[in-house]
Structure 1
């Protein structure tokens, strides 16, 4: 994925945020284990152990809140640096394109790339990928904890995980298509706004001020249409994954109850199983949806690569240096005219000197410049 290349270029910042996310998932897992063990201690009427686990759970939640604050700050820093790199790459390509290459797109389109599309990449790319890392961390810790309670719970989770991973992939292509259509609609909106505002004087003189309203409303309706199309597709995907998650939680809870009734696991397992099953399957449904959204930014980044760069043949030689400019007996005559504008013109422009060309309108000074 193209976005992963930007994470690679910011690997130390990316690894630091990942480290904080994993640590935070560990604190959340510790809180869940403490809750389950506290319930088991109550069932055995062991007050001292009960209060010990309650205190440990409280401490875990406090550290979770502190680290979560750090995660938010560092993730924002990472996202802004990714934005800067993407904008820099677009700017570099624009600086290396030809005149005709630049004008293959409108200025408003480039403006949309550098603003609206960057925001989309932030929301569906950077944020979703970091969310996936957090979800994977919590799933891994949760499955290890369930294995501690009873290995059979992990086997059930793995089977249900496979099912949850396959179903949402059916919507990946349509979701990516809807995302790209939405960004193109945003481009058209920016183009329409620029066109009507730049043409205000003409519309005012022609007594057509309502054209501004008509054009902007039309482009807004276009954006609204594609935003709703994306929302519908994303909503269906999320509804299916959430439904699978809820059913999976019920299955794990039922299995845990059966294990407790057959005295194969402590009573506190019911609390731990409920906590970790809800965490695991909620995060699994989130991963499925977030991964589809993350993949939907790929065509957006690929779109940035459509800026044509200058060919090697059109580039200046590596040993090119500026020097003096000399005109030796140069003549010029417009076709269809009998008299040349000038003939046998000799001029010598020295490097780093300044010159002024003066003459009447439409004389040779205009042609020469």
Structure 2
């Protein structure tokens, strides 16, 4: 957490200055209260009124600084939160396909939402509260010194006790915080999963499972938060005890000094206010430090995202060649999926991969696109081993379309471009090749029609066509299709497949359970997996 505080040191320096000026005003007010009480004791009403005027002026200035403090702290917190989110997503960008899928999408969403909220409220808020209290304590201790040095000495002794007591529960605090953040992740993942299955549950009249699963996850989260509350209460009680002891003892010492006529009677009011400031701060120090430290496991969790380094991997030459498989095998744990596959996909040719369910067709395509790199045997593209090729460069040459392509919330145009720029002529060409003309003509805003969350307003076939256009517009030279036309009607599927197999610039490898006779006659080869 402190990395980001240091990263934005200039902004935090401005915050510190504002906090110092606010604390200074508060301390001067406390000292002026002593002078006001002494003026009343001396029956000097004019002096009393002058002090009241000074106090009112200081309060007005303090209010201005408090307003600036609230605004500036919020701005700096959001800058740091955005920087953390950016670092997390950049780590995700650099991770491998397998590493990413070790966690559910809901877990990553929880990191960027729930965990960042925890960092802001538990980490940053406590840091600024600690900084505010530390500055107020410093100015208050200096003020006490001007009354009598013994007040400062006793403040140090009592303050040490106030800080030490809550430290007993520090490890428990960190453990309970980590447990809570993990339960938050599980809760969000579970709720996201069950809500994503709304259509399925609706079809089977099992919508009650939404409440059931949410309640079960909520109870587990509640238990973790309640356990954390118990630890927080222990820390708080320990801090309050030290706080009360410190305040009473400083008042007692001031009374003794006043009785001995070492300090004026009015100082009793000032040291009371200053003591409250000091020991309230010290009473909260351990809690605040424990809370700040408790967010460190969250940052450690972010650090555990394993980056996939591709710096030393090969780049594909400009003159690409075909894909060769030699004794290729793959297993998921103990389950062998592909065994001793040898085949040659020549550049510019068209192929189909067929086989029964579970024969490894999709696994083979995942190897060819670079998602699965822990295969045995050999799989080369342009005479380079696939698991040694730079992944980004590989995906720049190969388009992979699965059975259920993902669409983002937004328009058709935005889902095709994915934030990049393309010419109108390129759009017109891919719309024709992906057989999107009839869809666009029927939509009210054409390419700029909003398709809803995850493309829910479109059919499965329409989504597959948009996914195809998304790849074709980028000039991919090799296309891998995993049942990419399975959701289309017969006529549209045939048109798209004919467009692909008749394009001499493309190398097409497609998985299909319905190999049409007309298409099979135009293929250069069929790989059958058993």
Write 1 or 2 for the structure with the bigger share of helix.
1
Distance 1:366 1:248 in 2: 87
Match of 2:267 among 265, 269, 279: 269
What's the secondary structure of 1:266's corresponding residue?
Answer: coil
What's the secondary structure of 2:322's corresponding residue?
Answer: strand
Aligned to 1:25: 23
Distance 2:105 2:347 in 1: 41
Aligned residues: 357
Aligned to 1:127: 125
TM-score, with normalisation over the residues of structure 2? 0.63
What's the secondary structure of 2:321's corresponding residue?
Answer: strand
Aligned to 2:313: 316
Aligned to 1:347: 348
CA shift digits 1:219-239 (9 cap, x unpaired): 111111111111111112112
Aligned to 2:431: none
Contact 1:97 / 1:310 at 8 angstroms: preserved in 2? Answer: yes
- Bigger relative contact order, structure 1 or 2, given CA contacts below 8 A and separation 6+? 1
Per-residue deviation, 1:207: 3.3
Match of 1:327 among 319, 322, 325: 322
Contact 1:252 / 1:273 at 8 angstroms: preserved in 2? Answer: yes
Per-residue deviation, 1:346: 5.5
Aligned to 1:243: 241
Over 3 Å counting, the alpha-carbon distance change for 1:58 and 1:344 in structure 2 is closer
Distance 1:267 1:63 in 2: 28
Distance 1:271 1:167 in 2: 28
Aligned to 2:188: 190
TM alignment of 1:99-138, pairs within 5 A? 99-138=97-136
Distance 2:242 2:273 in 1: 17
Match of 1:233 among 231, 234, 245: 231
CA shift digits 1:247-289 (9 cap, x unpaired): 2111111111111111110011110011001111011112221
Contact 2:39 / 2:47 at 8 angstroms: preserved in 1? Answer: yes
Distance 1:228 1:116 in 2: 17
Match of 2:68 among 67, 70, 74: 70
Contact 2:255 / 2:268 at 8 angstroms: preserved in 1? Answer: yes
Contact 1:241 / 1:289 at 8 angstroms: preserved in 2? Answer: yes
Over 3 Å counting, the alpha-carbon distance change for 1:307 and 1:265 in structure 2 is same
Over 3 Å counting, the alpha-carbon distance change for 1:344 and 1:128 in structure 2 is closer
1:15 pairs with 2:13: yes
Per-residue deviation, 1:200: 2.2
Match of 2:250 among 245, 249, 252: 252
Question: Who wins on radius of gyration, i.e. which is larger?
Answer: 2
Aligned to 2:95: 97
Aligned to 2:53: 55
Query: What residue ranges of structure 1 are gaps of 5+ in the alignment?
Result: none
Over 3 Å counting, the alpha-carbon distance change for 1:145 and 1:345 in structure 2 is closer
Per-residue deviation, 1:62: 0.9
What's the secondary structure of 2:273's corresponding residue?
Answer: helix
Over 3 Å counting, the alpha-carbon distance change for 1:247 and 1:332 in structure 2 is closer
CA shift digits 1:284-305 (9 cap, x unpaired): 1122211110110000111111
TM alignment of 1:194-205, pairs within 5 A? 194-205=192-203
Query: What residue ranges of structure 2 are gaps of 5+ in the alignment?
Result: 330-340, 350-381, 383-396, 398-473, 478-498, 503-511
Aligned to 2:305: 307
Contact 2:322 / 2:345 at 8 angstroms: preserved in 1? Answer: no
Contact 1:98 / 1:309 at 8 angstroms: preserved in 2? Answer: yes
Per-residue deviation, 1:323: 1.5
Contact 1:357 / 1:365 at 8 angstroms: preserved in 2? Answer: no
Computed over aligned residues only, the root mean square deviation of the Cα atoms, in angstroms, reads 2.8
CA shift digits 1:183-218 (9 cap, x unpaired): 111111111111111222332333322221110000
Write 1 or 2 for the structure with the bigger share of strand.
2
What's the secondary structure of 1:357's corresponding residue?
Answer: helix
1:217 pairs with 2:218: no
Contact 1:109 / 1:187 at 8 angstroms: preserved in 2? Answer: yes
Over 3 Å counting, the alpha-carbon distance change for 1:242 and 1:307 in structure 2 is same
Query: After alignment, is 21-30 or 39-48 more displaced?
Result: 39-48
CA shift digits 1:144-193 (9 cap, x unpaired): 11111111111110000111121111111100111111111111111111
Aligned to 2:169: 171
Aligned to 1:357: 500
Over 3 Å counting, the alpha-carbon distance change for 1:200 and 1:283 in structure 2 is same
Aligned to 1:140: 138
What's the secondary structure of 2:348's corresponding residue?
Answer: strand
Per-residue deviation, 1:354: 6.7
Aligned to 2:286: 288
Distance 1:69 1:153 in 2: 33
